[in-house]
Amino acid sequence: IGSGIFSTPSVVSVHVPNPTAGTLTWLLCGLLVWAGAASFIELGTRVPLNGGIQEYLRAGWGDVAGFLFAWVWLGVVRPATMAVIALIFAEHVQWAMGMQDHWVLTKAVALGGVAVITAVNCLGVKSGAKAAGWFLVLKLGMIFSIAGAGVVVGIQEKGGYFFGEELSGTRLVKRAEVRAESIWQEVGEYVTGGLAALWVYGGWEAVSPDPFHLNPP
């Protein structure tokens, strides 16, 4: 569904001194992800096989590396990713419906969401693709509405807060009151915010050309 974009911006904002630094963090992370995606496109043209990272590792370091990656990806990475996304979904549902914030209820809602998505995909490839399409439209609509609201607020306040000033006596972005004791602590704050932004940009590792287009049967 793309839950990262709805939960991570606040994390990034907490670890940067002002919105300008936050915007630069998003920009730099976007360029880093673009470089990774471009590299994967290049790998896809040189190793035109289905399997993505597994095939790239097999071509570079042999069957053992590809085999180990496949098991780690299927047994650890993907389940952990789906668990985090499901929990974020559950927390937002509870907040929207005014439910009590309890870990048992959160896990129950998360498991219910995973079960519904699994059932939809079990109905067939077409039903899964249609559900993904509708979720994409919904996600983009919400993202544009949030961005539009931010632009309106920025125009109304003449952009003063964008450079770290107070906005009508209230900080719209609440940063943790952490005093940097050293330059390394300050760097650590930026790195933490950058890692959160990279979570939102996740999925670039799935970029690959169509092997049938490159090598038609």
Q: Label residue 32 by pLDDT band (50, 70, 90).
A: very high
4 against 133, higher pLDDT = 133
Question: Can you tell me the mean pLDDT for 53-61?
Answer: 90
Question: What is the Cα Rg of the chain in Å?
Answer: 21
Q: What are phi and psi of 94, to 5 degrees?
A: -60, -40
Nearest in space to 107 (alpha carbons), one of 79, 88, 121: 88
d(CA 87, CA 3): 10
Q: Label residue 167 by pLDDT band (50, 70, 90).
A: very low
Q: What pTM value is reported for the model?
A: 0.66
d(CA 168, CA 38): 43
